[in-house]
Amino acid sequence: MSDAELDGTPSEPSAATPKVDVASGPKRRGKVRKRHTVGKVMLATVLVLGLTTGLGVVFLYRHLNGNLNVVDVTDQLTDRPTKVAVAGPQEPLNVLVMGSDTRDGAGNNIDGLTGGGERSDTTILLHLSADRKRAYGISIPRDLLVDRPDCTSKNGDTIPGATQVMWNEAFAVGGPACTIQQFEHVTGVRVDHYVKVDFEGFRGMVDAIGGVTTCIPENIEDPAHHINIEAGTRKLKGYEALNYVRERYVVGNGSDVGRMKRQQAFIASMAHQVVTAGTLARPDRLVRFLDSATKSLTVDPGLKSVVKLAELGNEFKGIGLDNIQFLTVPIITAPSDPNRLAFQQPQADQVWAKVRKDQPLTKRLSSDVISAGNVPGNPSSSPSGSPSGSPSSSASSKPEDEASRQALADAGLCT
């Protein structure tokens, strides 16, 4: 059964009948296995489960689709930037990822807090280049001061904007729609898709792949928030993994920027493990991963089915792990408030300009890069690449390398 058939549209007979090369049988089959797309692996998985457990393929497909919460915010967005035409076989993709700290829903009330609505402490723009050779995950701090534009509520009312307010206030007053409106207004970058994930979704995805290898240089002891994690390099699972990426106060220099850097390292390690451990080829892990993810995701209509999500994941198939890189937009301490942050100019504007034009970021604009191919302190990472994005992680006296190592230490990461 093809992706198109599951979506309710007939597939072309010619596309479903591949040519068979008898002369190179075993060798050609080996190549095909290596080139399986995420969509094909997923469909093969549900077929196997359907045959072995009595579940129908369509039933399982509908179950995963039914998990997704699809919310169209298009009508709430105004004065949207025009996408810049760039050279490439495809269009670049911009996906805005927002982490929700809601305590509502199964598995989300992790610390006994109730009420208070919903906020987003994590905002990451995932940019995929038109040639599908590089991907950037650019984090935006919640404490960043920006001018928030007017936005529209779900019922069509105008939510007045405000000057010099924290970045995550947009999510608190208007959810994903106001965050997208703010992002596009501030950066000039057009958002193609958005994804919102909650605590339970994050925890479930980590557990579905068997945990994520993490290097912790010192014991994390935060009795005020009931967080105790032993030092060492090991796999974090369940609520321990969630506590690790949430912890802020007793790790590194205690800043929210440090927490973002740990989150980047954790996601990079997660991506590394999904690829290198063959998770996508394991039916049991893949379905658990999809079930956990879809239960806790809110997405736009462009990602309304597991096939659409698989197609998005398939866009990354040609990108090497070293070219999946995570960084923080250039920032400084806000002149108006020592407890808040501001864009560092002109570097921040230059980052967004390069994203709009789909150009590679220079090392000067991405000195704190963590790649999925070389996660700080992770022995399973490849020897190529480095935390700073340079081709070697060997000791160096270069100022940018020293700054990168200091940034990792400030974040409570192994260097």
* Spatial distance between the Cα atoms of 183 and 327, rounded to a whole number of angstroms: 17
Per-residue pLDDT at 221 exceeds 90? no
Q: How confident is the model at residue 324 (pLDDT cuts 50, 70, 90)?
A: confident
pLDDT band at 396, cuts 50/70/90? Answer: very low
pLDDT at residue number 182: 97
Per-residue pLDDT tens over the stretch 340-354: 999 999 999 999 999
Q: Which amino acid is at 274?
A: V
Instruction: Name which of 147-156, 199-208, 264-273, 375-384 the model is least confident about.
Output: 375-384
96: Cα within 13 Å, side-chain hemisphere: 23
Q: Give me the pLDDT at residue 382, please.
A: 52
Q: Which residues contact 122 (CB under 8 A, 6 or more apart)?
A: 97, 98, 99, 139, 142, 260, 263
Q: Which amino acid is at 390?
A: S
Look at residue 2 in the predicted model and tell me its pLDDT.
45
Q: Lowest-pLDDT range, 59-73, 172-186, 218-232?
A: 59-73
Cα–Cα distance between 238 and 223 in angstroms, integer? Answer: 19
* Mean pLDDT for the chain overall: 76
Mean pLDDT score, 43-69: 60
Distance CA(195)–CA(187), nearest Å, equals: 18
Alpha-carbon torsion, ordered 303, 306, 312, 317, to 10 deg = 180
Residue 289 vs residue 132, higher pLDDT: 132
| Reported confidence tier of residue 192, pLDDT bands at 50, 70, 90 | very high
Mean pLDDT for the stretch of residues 85-89: 82
Across the range 281-308, mean pLDDT stands at 77
**Predicted confidence band at 20 (pLDDT cuts at 50, 70, 90)?**
very low
pLDDT band at 330 (very low <50, low <70, confident <90, very high): very high
pTM attached to this predicted model: 0.76
In three state form, how does the secondary structure of 266-323 look? HHHHHHHHHHHCCHHHCHHHHHHHHHHHHHCEEECHHHCCHHHHHHHHHCCCCCCHHH
User: Band of the pLDDT at 380, cuts 50, 70, 90?
Assistant: low
Higher per-residue confidence, 413 vs 359: 359
Query: Which pLDDT score, from 0 to 100, does residue 253 have?
Result: 66
More confident of the two residues 24 and 193: 193
pLDDT band at 152 (very low <50, low <70, confident <90, very high): very high
Count of CB atoms situated within 10 Å of the CB of 336:
9
Architecture of the 68-410 domain: 3-Layer(aba) Sandwich (3.40)
Show me where the domains of the chain are located.
68-410
More confident residue, 92 or 395: 92
The answer to whether 6 and 65 are in contact (CB under 8 A) is: no
Helix H, strand E, coil C: the string for the chain is CCHHHHCCCCCCHHHHCCCCCCCCHHHHHHHHHHCCCHHHHHHHHHHHHHHHHCCCHHHHHHHHHHHCEECCCHHHCCCCCCCCCCCCCCCCEEEEEEECCCCCCCCCCCCCCCCCCCCCCEEEEEEECCCCCCEEEEEECCCEEEEECCEECCCCCEECCEEEEECCHHHHHHHHHHHHHHHHHHHCCCCCEEEEECHHHHHHHHHHCCCEEEEECCCEEEHHHCEEECCEEEEECHHHHHHHHHCCCCCCCCCHHHHHHHHHHHHHHHHHHHHHCCHHHCHHHHHHHHHHHHHCEEECHHHCCHHHHHHHHHCCCCCCHHHEEEEECCEEECCCCCCCEEECCCHHHHHHHHHHCCCCCCHHHCCCCEECCECCCCCCCCCCCCCCCCCCCCCCCCHHHHHHHHHHHHCCCCC
Is the separation of the CB atoms in 206 and 212 below 8 Å?
yes
Give the residue carrying structure tokens 């699972």: 237
As a whole-number percent, the residues of the chain with pLDDT over 70 amount to 70
Q: What is the mean pLDDT of residues 200-229?
A: 84
Lowest model confidence (mean pLDDT) among 30-39, 236-245, 362-371: 30-39
Per-residue model confidence (pLDDT) at position 282: 65
Question: What residue type is assigned to position 383 of the chain?
Answer: P
Q: Per the structure block, which two tokens stand in for 191?
A: 């958002």
Cα→Cα distances 56→42, 45, 60, 282, Å: 14, 12, 6, 19
Q: Is-contact 56 50, C-beta < 8 A?
A: yes
pLDDT-derived band at 59, boundaries 50, 70, 90: low
Antiparallel, parallel or unpaired: β 162-166 and 232-236:
unpaired
